[in-house]
Chain A
């Protein structure tokens, strides 16, 4: 973590909360949660959109949305977010499906709609200005609705933000077991911190 104030908390309340959660959970509170507790008046809108996109109503399951987040993290080389969202996806989808998708989503045993959507999201992440209506059309032809693709675009856009600040701030990488336990917390409590 490159900003010590984020790591320790910027108020008595947040410092107490960080210590309490770390003690109760038996692990260091991940940096993603510390960011959510920091300078709350500034970052609250991103938490709200993240919660809505990841846990709000959608034709995508929570597992599929977490897998999309993990894929954006892979395309952006963000090791913290790969680990975090891989762990949550694995609580909702078969481990082998998640691993195969992260390895090569074009050959993974996932539905054609999700596969076509990932093609779109990869271009959105790596070459956003090259996206055309033909790219969206190809996803529609795989049976994905306009609403569903819009939901997926929201998920990918949000994780194009989160992966960037995670790496810019140099989030500490938890162990596999810690990612697993943090995943339980995120499934239970969601992303809203405010």
Chain B
């Protein structure tokens, strides 16, 4: 697969954000936005209590995904009513954690002076 054009990372990141957080799916966009924010380490609805299985899983994925348990995933699949819904929550949490890194990294790069430019 050839792909040698210079990527427009900003546009690609925005397309990913729009599709994952605002596009159609088995789960509601409002829920996905809250899950992404929670995985990114931001306060969100339910964040303070951590009682919702969505936010418990999102926080786990954001902080230490390798410690995710079968029970955490099973609870979210049950709450969404389908494996596709559970998949959307997992992917959205991962995207939320990645996009906050993209934004922090980009901000640092854009704020610095490139002597070679």
Q: Which stretch from A24-32, A104-112, A130-138 is at the chain B interface?
A: A130-138
- The listed residue (A120, A143, A165, A188) touching B116 by CB distance below 8 A is A143
- The listed residue (B24, B91, B111, B114) touching A145 by CB distance below 8 A is B114
The 3 closest A-B pairs by CB, nearest first: A190-B1, A133-B111, A161-B98
Contacts A76-B65, A136-B109, A192-B1 given; does A42 touch B20 at CB 8 Å: yes
Question: Chain B residues with Cβ under 8 A from A58's Cβ?
Answer: 6-7
Q: Which stretch from A93-101, A147-155, A175-183 is at the chain B interface?
A: A147-155
**A-B pairs with beta carbons under 8 Å apart, 12 shown:** A2-B70, A3-B87, A6-B83, A44-B19, A56-B6, A58-B6, A76-B65, A129-B104, A140-B112, A153-B105, A156-B105, A164-B94
Say whether B101 contacts A168, CB under 8 Å: no
Interface of B is mostly: helix
How many contacting A-B pairs (Cβ < 8 A)? 201
- The listed residue (B68, B95, B109, B111) touching A167 by CB distance below 8 A is B68
Say whether A78 contacts B87, CB under 8 Å: no
Task: Count B interface residues, CB 8 Å.
Answer: 61
Question: Chain B residues with Cβ under 8 A from A136's Cβ?
Answer: 108-109, 111-112
User: Scoring A residues 112 to 124 as 1 if CB is less than 8 Å from chain B, else 0, what string do you get?
Assistant: 0000000010001
- The listed residue (A5, A48, A153, A162) touching B106 by CB distance below 8 A is A153
Say whether B104 contacts A128, CB under 8 Å: yes
- Residues in B lying within 8 Å of A, measured CB to CB: 1-7, 9, 12-13, 15-16, 18-20, 23-25, 39, 41, 57, 60-62, 64-66, 68, 70, 73-74, 77, 83-84, 86-88, 90-91, 93-95, 97-102, 104-109, 111-117
Interface presence of A157 (CB below 8 A): yes
Known: A2-B73, A3-B87, A55-B4. 14 other contacts (CB 8 A): A41-B24, A42-B88, A77-B64, A132-B111, A134-B112, A135-B108, A140-B113, A151-B9, A160-B94, A163-B65, A164-B62, A164-B65, A165-B61, A168-B94
Say whether A49 contacts B12, CB under 8 Å: yes
Interface presence of A158 (CB below 8 A): yes
Question: Chain A residues with Cβ under 8 A from B94's Cβ?
Answer: 160-162, 164-165, 168
- The listed residue (A46, A128, A167) touching B101 by CB distance below 8 A is A128
